[in-house]
Amino acid sequence: MADTMPSYIGRSVVRREDNRLLKGAGTFVGDMKLEGMVHVAIVRSQQAHARINSVDLEAARNADGVVLALAGAELKDVLPPISGMQVAAPKGWRDGMDPHIDIPDQTLVPYDKLRYVGEPYALVVAGDRYMAEDAAELIEGDFDPLPPIASAEAALDAEALVHDHLPGNIAATLHAKKGEGEAALEAAPHRLKRRYYHHRYAAMPMECRGVVAEYDSRTDSITVWSSTQVVHWVRREVANALDMPEERVRVVAPDVGGGFGGKGHVYPEDILIAYLAKRLDRPVKWLEDRHEHLLNAAHSRDNLFDIEVGYDDDGRISVVKNYFLVDSGAYSPVGAAIAGNSIAHFMGPYDIPHYEADCKVMMTNRTPNAPYRGAGRPEVAFAMERSIDLIANELGLDPAEVRFRNMIQPEQMPYAVGLPYRDGVMIEYDSGDYPEALRKALDGIGGLDEFRSRQKAALAEGRYLGLGLGCYVEGTGIGPFEGATVKIDSSGKVMVATGACPQGQGHETAFAQVAADIWNVPIEDVVVTLADTSHVTMGYGTIASRSAVTASGAIKDSSDKVKEKVFAIAANVLEASESDLELRNGSVGVKGVPEMSMTLKEVARAALPGWIHQRPEGIEAGLEGTAYYEPPTVTWAYAANAAIVEIDAQTGVVKIENYVEVHDAGTLINPGIADGQVRGGLVQGIGGGLFEELFYDEHGQLMTGSFMDYLLPTASDIPPINVIHTETPSPRNSFGFKGLGEGGAIAPPVVIANAVCDALKSFGAELNSTPVRAEQILNIIDAGVAAAE
């Protein structure tokens, strides 16, 4: 029909966000300037573990421009800690995991002891940040050093305790079981046992965190602008800490300069700045600087695995035993979520009958560990995908072949894994063709056989080429829910607000596309509001590759409510039956009768309360609907990666010649945006595989406190990357969407490690930890050459 709009979903619509961001006209928290605003500097621990005896604020209080100086003792009875459980675990998951979880609460500003380098213990409010930093330097703490617990392994046997009530420094233990692991191992013709370590690195958005808060005494309400991914969580915690109704707390995330999980939970500063604004009754701003960010914003990864795999002569894996430790640092702001992900995702796209997992979430004197792009999946992909390559080596098979032999076949879909997911529902992979993804990835690097002959020829010339593979599946679009409110007012525009909080994902554009299709209106007629608690009563936020699925679901459900009214009112006005009506290009009309229609603007006016409304009996005034979409369970995105590397035998430097990821996230809303998400993730994964490391010494001192030492990948470090998108719709939502924000970041570390080992196979190379260092590679070559001589 002529009036039917082309679908926006599936088109690379130009992003609405671009214009303002390109012109420098975005508004980030740091850009905000309010009348009378004062600035905070936070004084942070330089010791990994110490008893606080006293903190002397006198000199700071007398310094120029200082409004207030506080230490933990003054706040002890004023502000409650943040609950250790920012995310509640559902019963179904608890039943399946047999967890013991005792995540410690986090005191906003500790008064008794310091647990990591970078932990706040005092703060200064002053006229500007310069003066605040001057005064902060004058604050003297009297501390007794305590023995630092510098790693998860050390924490197990340490006498010292990070938290006195957690014996053994264990914050959580989780167990999961499918089949009979022990018996299967006994029965397995071959067993492979290895230790793997996935090192600590972090989200590292280009914008550090920041908070501005303003209190309005007239209404006893507060507005908090935070560079966060979860405005509704921040509202909950601020309201709780300040004992205010949530209605009186508005939290807004304006333009946010990247998050990747690192801004995905409530931090002490979110609450502290709100508290200070209320206490001082003037606007307060705190901007995290890069040094603070490196010390204090959540770190991630840092898992140690002891793995045992049973397999047969054909390389078929019958069993995996997965014992691992998570170095969670001094707190664990998102509970045992990362560990839960690690347990659930270990077997990836493979059909493995027996599995046992046993995990301990350890408290150490390191910066708290929270989810970062991948959140538990890169770690287990490393362990699983390295194991497959090692099995292939043992059996003299190609690693690709071992993967094909173990993969779940498309006809096995949906595939029941036999473990509960974090949402409490038993895992069932919903759709996909995993072997086909791997075939496409191998085609993408020019074909497996072609590569093997090229590799052989190169080796004859003394050049070391290697192929690395890595496959994963990823539960995306997790609940518990997302909220959306859809309104149509007398302007006729469709106004959509959701709890999603973008940090660069292009949500304003993507959700406009979704809403435009739902309403059959031109995209220009959709107004999208995000990341503002005043527009959506209950929301959840943008973490865990969830917004495309959950916010779209909420937009659809709330739209459906409004549509019912739109049709009822239009039917009344047009004197037609509701079942004969359709939405067409911004109007509601009678099917097959082009001249019988009214615009949404006219419907909105007819829906107004008052004397001249045209609503039928029983239809309430206004076109507005709110819905909370609670997904039935997650959707399963998946990918296969293949990369070719060449090793410089003189320096050990790894050059990635070509990197291919075949990625399937179901139906794509905006392929251009989706491609950017996957690419961005891949480059973060390459960073983690080769450059980025949060390195601690044995005293628990972070040695990488600047960008001189924490090395992010740059434009010249990136290989040619080919992302091939396939679209297998998810049957779990009406759009066929799966999530994709995190996927790219999962595989590169293991793909690189596998590729390097493949290149140096003749030396028996085994790289079972990250990052992959040139120096380490050179040592392998040296040892290999020495052994050969």
Partner 1 sequence: MKPPLLDILTPSSLAEALSLLSEHGDEARPLAGGQSLVPLLNFRMSRPAILIDLNQIADLAYIKDAGDYIAIGAMTRERSIEDSDLVRKEAPLLQEATTQIAHLPIRNRGTIGGSLANADPAAEYPAVVLALECELVVQSVRGERRIKAAAFFEDVLTTALEPDELLTEIIVPKAPSGSSSAFVEIARRHGDFALAGIAAQITFANSAPTDVRLAVCGAGTTASRLTAAEEIIQRDGVGPEAIKAASEAAASAVDPMSDLHASADYRRRLTGVMIGQAVEKAAQRAGVIS
Partner 2 sequence: MKAPRKVSLTVNGEALSGEASPRMLFADFLRDVLGKTGTHVGCEHGVCGACTVIVDDVAVRSCLMFAVQAEGADVKTVEGLADGEELHPLQKLFSEHRALQCGYCTPGMLMTAIDLVASNNALSEQDIKVGMSAALCRCTGYDGIVKAVTAYAEQVHGKPIKRESDNG
d(CA 646, CA 654): 6
Q: Does 219 bind partner 1 (CB under 8 A)?
A: no
15 makes contact, choosing from partner 2, partner 1, none, with CB < 5 to 8 Å by partner type, with partner 2
Q: Which residues contribute to the site for partner 2 (CB under 8 A)?
A: 14-15, 17-28, 30-31, 33, 130, 204-208, 255-258, 260, 289-290, 503-506, 672-673, 675-676, 679-684, 706-708, 712, 714-718, 720-722
168 makes contact, choosing from partner 1, partner 2, none, with CB < 5 to 8 Å by partner type, with none
Q: Please identify, among the stretches 29-37, 82-90, 493-501, 772-780, the one whose residues bind partner 1 according to the rule CB under 8 A.
A: 772-780
Minimum distance from residue 683 beta carbon to partner 1 (Å): 13
Contact 664, 671 (CB under 8 A): no
Q: Please identify, among the stretches 114-122, 406-414, 521-529, 773-781, the one whose residues bind partner 1 according to the rule CB under 8 A.
A: 773-781
Strands across the sheet containing 354-362: 100-101, 170-178, 354-362, 317-327, 300-311, 190-201
Minimum distance from residue 44 beta carbon to partner 2 (Å): 16
The residue from 595, 775, 786, 788 that contacts partner 1 (CB under 8 A) is 775
25 makes contact, choosing from partner 2, partner 1, none, with CB < 5 to 8 Å by partner type, with partner 2
Residues 6+ apart with CB under 8 A from 762: 459, 784
Minimum distance from residue 693 beta carbon to partner 1 (Å): 8
**Count of residues near partner 1 by CB under 8 A:** 27
Residue type, 319: V
Q: How many CA atoms lie within 13 A of 205 on its CB side?
A: 25
Angle (nearest 5°) at CA 741 between 735 and 745: 140
Minimum distance from residue 209 beta carbon to partner 2 (Å): 12
704 makes contact, choosing from partner 1, partner 2, none, with CB < 5 to 8 Å by partner type, with partner 1
Minimum distance from residue 620 beta carbon to partner 2 (Å): 40
CA distances from 258 to 504, 691, 743 (A): 6, 19, 16
514 is written with which tokens? 């979704």
Closest CA to 13 of 604, 516, 677: 516
Burial of 100 (0-12, 13-18, 19+ CB in 10 A): middle
695 makes contact, choosing from partner 2, partner 1, none, with CB < 5 to 8 Å by partner type, with partner 1
Contact 357, 175 (CB under 8 A): yes
Minimum distance from residue 719 beta carbon to partner 2 (Å): 9
Contact 644, 447 (CB under 8 A): no
The residue from 130, 183, 449, 632 that contacts partner 1 (CB under 8 A) is 130
Site string for partner 1, 150-179 (x = CB under 8 A): ------------------------------
187 makes contact, choosing from partner 2, partner 1, none, with CB < 5 to 8 Å by partner type, with none
Closer residue to partner 2 in complex, CB, 650/706 = 706
Minimum distance from residue 687 beta carbon to partner 2 (Å): 9
Closest CA to 127 of 71, 64, 69, 70: 64
Closer residue to partner 1 in complex, CB, 596/712 = 712
Exposure class string for 698-729: b at 16+ Cβ within 10 A, else e: eebbbebbeeeebeebeeeeebebebbbbbbb
Minimum distance from residue 327 beta carbon to partner 2 (Å): 23
The C-alpha R_g of the chain, in whole angstroms, comes to 28
Find the binding residues for partner 1 in span 530-589 (CB under 8 A).
none
Closer residue to partner 2 in complex, CB, 484/683 = 683
Closer residue to partner 2 in complex, CB, 185/678 = 678
Minimum distance from residue 722 beta carbon to partner 1 (Å): 23
Closer residue to partner 1 in complex, CB, 631/771 = 771
Find the binding residues for partner 1 in span 677-736 (CB under 8 A).
691, 693, 695, 703-704, 706, 708-709, 711, 713-714, 716-717
Closest CA to 467 of 376, 517, 392, 566: 392
Instruction: Note the residue count of the chain.
Output: 789
d(CA 73, CA 330): 20
Closer residue to partner 2 in complex, CB, 179/672 = 672
Site string for partner 1, 480-519 (x = CB under 8 A): ----------------------------------------
Minimum distance from residue 131 beta carbon to partner 1 (Å): 9
653 makes contact, choosing from partner 2, partner 1, none, with CB < 5 to 8 Å by partner type, with partner 1
Minimum distance from residue 257 beta carbon to partner 2 (Å): 3
505 makes contact, choosing from partner 2, partner 1, none, with CB < 5 to 8 Å by partner type, with partner 2
CA distances from 117 to 297, 591, 780 (A): 12, 67, 35
Residues 6+ apart with CB under 8 A from 312: 188, 189, 190, 318
**Residue appearing with tokens 């001082």:** 280
Angle (nearest 5°) at CA 633 between 630 and 637: 120
Q: Does 28 bind partner 1 (CB under 8 A)?
A: no
| Residue 438: Cβ within 10 Å count | 24
Find the binding residues for partner 1 in span 644-683 (CB under 8 A).
650-651, 653
Burial of 220 (0-12, 13-18, 19+ CB in 10 A): exposed
22 makes contact, choosing from partner 1, partner 2, none, with CB < 5 to 8 Å by partner type, with partner 2
Helical packing angle, 507-519 and 547-574, nearest 10°? 30
The residue from 32, 73, 166, 778 that contacts partner 1 (CB under 8 A) is 778
Helix (H) or strand (E) holding 71: strand 66-71
651 makes contact, choosing from partner 1, partner 2, none, with CB < 5 to 8 Å by partner type, with partner 1
Interface ranges with partner 1 (CB under 8 A): 129-130, 133-134, 137, 289-291, 650-651, 653, 691, 693, 695, 703-704, 706, 708-709, 711, 713-714, 716-717, 774-775, 778
